[in-house]
Amino acid sequence: MTRHCHDVRLRGTRALLVIASTLAAVAVTPSAGMAQDPRIGLRTGFQDAGEAIRNLELVSHTPKQNGWFNPQQLGDFGFANSDLAFQKNLVFQGGWHGWQAWDISNPKAPTLRKAFVCQGGQGDLSVHGRLLFMSVEDLAGRVDCGTQGVADTVSAERFRGVRIFDISDIDNPKQVAAVQTCRGSHTHTLVTDPKDRSTVYVYVQGTGPVRSSNELAGCNRAVDDANTSYFRIEVIKVPLAAPQNAEIVNMPRIFADAQGNVAGLWKGGAHGDGTQNTGRTDQCHDITAYPEIGLAAGACSGNGILLDIKDPANPRRIDEVIDPNFAYWHSATFNNAGTTVLFTDEWGGGTAPRCRSTDKPTWGANALFTLGADHKLKQVGYYKLPAAQTDAENCVAHNGSLIPVPGRDIMAQAWYQGGMSIFDFSDPSRPVEIAYFDRGPIAEQLTLAGYWSTYWYNGYIIGSEIGRGLDIFALKPSEFLSANEIEAAKLVKYDEVNPQLQTKIVWPAAFPVARAYVDQLARKDALSDSRIAAINKSLDAAEKASGSTRKGALTLLASQLATDATKSSDAPRVRALIDVVRALSK
Amino acid sequence: MSVNAQSTSGTPGSVASRKHTAADVAFMQGMIGHHAQALEMVALVPARSSRVEMESLAERIAVSQKDEIGIMQRWLTAHGEAGDTKQAMSHDMHAAHTAMPGMLSPAQMDSLRNVEGTTFDRLFLQYMIQHHEGALVMVAELLRSPGAAQEPMVFQIMSDVDADQRAEIRRMKALLAQLP
């Protein structure tokens, strides 16, 4: 969630608006001739809300543990769950109350491996080897993780910034460093350096009030001062062998203009008649890094920006965009090829209902940009949750990640109480929903809940439910996604995933990957039915064979496919298939 | 630095939210009254100004401050501090709030009601800047108060007010500079 979105920001706050309960029952009239979307009109409830699901299976729902919610006040901010990070069999779930580590070795029955109380804001997490990183933003954050808050207005006990825990003994996490920053850390982004594996960087996105220079030297609240603590991010350098030496090495002025004015981007305000009011660009809400292509995409309040991060300690802005439909640039996701960037707009800050039938489909949505070789972003499309939600449900675009289906760009995305929407944005000008899950409102009156994030991790989709707990989903085959495509996605395995640190997805040379491409060619009518059948037959025969027989069959298939490529309406996909077949033949 | 952080598993006894302070309550109650006067001021805009930018500014202030009033009322109720917030919004109570930083005096409100056109625009912007700067003073006072703004919702509201009103002040100063 965001904090400084101007009229509608966030976080939490506006969400708890008292909304006339009569409005909560507003139904959306389906268009003539179409069946009503099953997501409309779901029953309200805490753990017994109505559910609508399509092309997915809910593998498990794990409610919040005692002590991690307030039964007297379901929307209590102090217990909201937030973002996720993954390592081996563990899901790390951040939140206002602290972090929890869930063992999902059995996805049908996750178990709580560790619950660690440590308050200080939304508590975004990243994990890298034995280190766990945690964002702390609020004034109540304490160096010692104590829950009593900080009594003094200026205090050495206060902590706002990024904590680093050593979790090599997860039963006894040790805070090995705590790097203080002027605006705290609303979110952060782990950035690896492909040229130096001994060091990682943490980009700190601070959006909170600037603290007193008496508490942290150098902090400067004056917006117009050249040394203002606004209009920057902080870069923390973490030597992995000595994380206790983590320190800020740069505070880059990534919004500066050519004249060196640090406030060089969007000044705040509307873009003309009928446009959105967009927050001033004095902060990034979130940055997604993709070190293998040397780029990061920043969602920075009033702008989307592109950063060159080839030197991770010195990110350099190389492009920026505005969008008159965006209120608050919130987060970013690259497609795997790095040719599309999806930015989210957290209009209303995540606590307001912004998916009603009366809300514009281009407001509070995703905006899709193509990213050319010239490193220029170009807006080509929008995607918004296609099922209208009620006034009782906080809903707007939020966090998600790619589902690694070869040959396609597919994302699972959280929409707070709008549920999860899975969509294909291979053609960024025409994204299409292919699966979803939604629950009814948590309460009759708008009460903070819903998915903070939904991320693919090693064959499953994990959802962090702000008010209800942790959900795990599996994909089901459908007209939009074949069993082979799902199998191919499941072949992609990681030991560690931090969704804001994207890594290049590489598929193994495997039969499901080849068949996924064949299914896609069939779906797009890019080859004749008879050729599709023949190719599948060849693949089946090759898979059953071994040794030189298999090699010969695959080599023959590859040469036949080369001819197919010349006739297909989707030659690049046929060539991708050829590459897999050739690799399989080796 | 090396600190051994507390490592506590959640227990049913720990569900209570962090304690709020008397200064938090005073801030939330005061800000409701403060916002209410801003709503009263923006209600004057449509009939007195012919500038599109003024209308959009007024609408924006109205939406954000109405939202925040709802949140603050709900928070006060949830924390057993609802008191007389309804009265705080009534016109009669404004006199009691003129002591708050930035609040317009009854005479200032009257002078605003009695002008129109560019004269209104100029006065409105001057007064709303004064009003917003008062809200920033209230935030600064809260931050100076020991233990305040640590309950998560109070922190949110405080941060929101601070960010919104700073941004609006800049915009209003720019508008003011553009007036003929």
Q: Which residues contact B117 (CB under 8 A, 6 or more apart)?
A: B48, B49, B50
Residue B81 pLDDT: 85
Residues A68, A452: Cα–Cα separation, whole Å: 16
Two tokens, residue B166: 């700073």
CB contact under 8 A, B71 and A149: no
Locate the chain A residue with the closest alpha carbon to B169. Answer: A268
Closest CA–CA distance from residue A63 to any residue of chain B (Å): 14
C-beta atoms of A16 and B153 within 8 A: yes
Closest-CA distance of chain B to residue A310, Å? 29
Residue to test with chain A: of B27, B150, B164, most A Cβ within 10 A: B150
pLDDT at B130 over 80: yes
Task: Give contacts of B73 with chain A, Cβ < 8 Å.
Answer: 18
- CA A206, CA A235: separation in Å to the nearest integer? 11
Distance CA(A406)–CA(A403), nearest Å, equals 9
The Cα–Cα gap between B126 and B121 comes to 9
Chain A positions in Cβ-Cβ contact with residue B52 (cut-off 8 Å): 273
Amino acid B83: pLDDT? 67
Q: Decide: residue A183, CB within 10 A, 0-12 exposed, 13-18 middle, 19+ buried.
A: buried
Residue A218 CB coordination number (10 Å): 10
Let me know: does A80 contact A95? Beta carbons within 8 Å.
yes
- pLDDT over threshold 90, residue B91: no
Nearest Cα to B132, choosing from B87, B97, B99, B167?
A: B167
- Average model confidence (pLDDT) across chain B: 83
Spatial distance between the Cα atoms of A441 and A49, rounded to a whole number of angstroms: 7
- Cβ distance A67 to B15 less than 8 Å, yes or no, reads yes
The pair phi, psi for residue A75, each rounded to 5°, is -85, 10
Decide if B153 and A153 are in contact by the 8 Å CB cutoff.
no
Q: Does B147 contact A151 at a Cβ distance shorter than 8 Å? A: yes
User: Are A8 and B63 within 8 A, CB to CB?
Assistant: yes
The pLDDT of residue A352: 87
CB contact under 8 A, A175 and B144: no
Measured between beta carbons, the chain B residues lying within 8 angstroms of A208 are 159
The chain A residue lying nearest B59, using CA atoms, is A7
Distances (CA, A) of A338 to A203, A372, A373, A393, A510: 20, 9, 10, 34, 24
Residue numbers in chain A where pLDDT is lower than 50: 3-33
Selected for mutation to probe chain B from A4, A5, A7, A72 (highest B CB count within 10 Å) is A7
**pLDDT tens by residue, A43-53:** 999 999 999 99
Contact B15 A70 (CB under 8 A): yes
* Three-state secondary structure readout of chain B: CCECCCCCCCCHHHCCCCCCCHHHHHHHHHHHHHHHHHHHHHCCHHHHCCCHHHHHHHHHHHHHHHHHHHHHHHHHHHCCCCCCHHHHHCHHHHHHHCCCCCCCCHHHHHHHHCCCHHHHHHHHHHHHHHHHHHHHHHHHHHHCCCCCCCCHHHHHHHHHHHHHHHHHHHHHHHHHHHCC
Contacts of B166 in chain A (CB under 8 A): 223
Query: B1 to chain A: which residues are within 8 Å by CB?
Result: 177-178, 244
Chain-chain contact of B164 with A16 (C-beta, under 8 angstroms): no
Nearest CB neighbour to A209, from listed B16, B63, B159: B159
Q: Which of A6, A208, A273 sits opposite B167 (nearest CB)?
A: A6
- pLDDT attached to residue A34: 56
Mind telling me how many Å the CA of B48 is from chain A's nearest CA? 20
Nearest beta carbon to residue B3 from set A13, A67, A175: A175
Find all residues with CB under 8 Å of A315, minimum gap 6, and list them: A203, A233, A235, A252, A254, A296, A307, A308, A309
Mean pLDDT across the stretch B3-29? 62
Judge: A16–B147 Cβ closer than 8 Å, yes or no.
no
In this structure, the strands spanning A51-54 and A432-439 are antiparallel
Q: Do A208 and B78 touch (CB under 8 A)?
A: no
User: ipTM score of the complex?
Assistant: 0.70
How many CA atoms are closer than 13 Å to the CA of A330, on its beta-carbon side? Answer: 33
CA distance B16 to chain A (A): 7
Contact residues, chain B, for A279 at CB < 8 Å: 167
A22 burial (CB, 10 Å; 0-12 / 13-18 / 19+) is exposed
pTM for this predicted structure: 0.89
d(CA A156, nearest CA chain B) in Å: 13
A11 to B3: CB separation less than 8 angstroms, yes or no: no
B105 Cα to chain A: minimum distance (Å): 26
Amino acid at A420: M
Interface touch A153/B14, C-beta < 8 Å: no
Q: Could you report the per-residue pLDDT of B54-90, keeping only the tens digit for each?
A: 988 898 888 888 888 988 998 898 888 876 555 545 4
Contact A245, A131 (CB under 8 A): no
pLDDT at A20: 32
**Secondary structure of A443-485 in the HEC alphabet?**
CCCCCCCCEEEEEEECCEEEEEECCCEEEEEEECCECCECHHH
User: Is A178–B1 a contact, with Cβ atoms under 8 angstroms apart?
Assistant: yes
Contacts of A277 in chain B (CB under 8 A): 56, 60
One DSSP character per residue, A20-31 reads -HHHHTPPPPPP
Predicted confidence at residue A77, as pLDDT, reads 87
Q: Which residues of A touch B12 (CB under 8 A)?
A: 66-67
**Cα(B130)–Cα(A561) distance, rounded to whole angstroms?**
73
What are the φ and ψ backbone dihedral angles of B101, each rounded to 5 degrees? -55, 135
**Residue A465: its pLDDT value, please?**
98
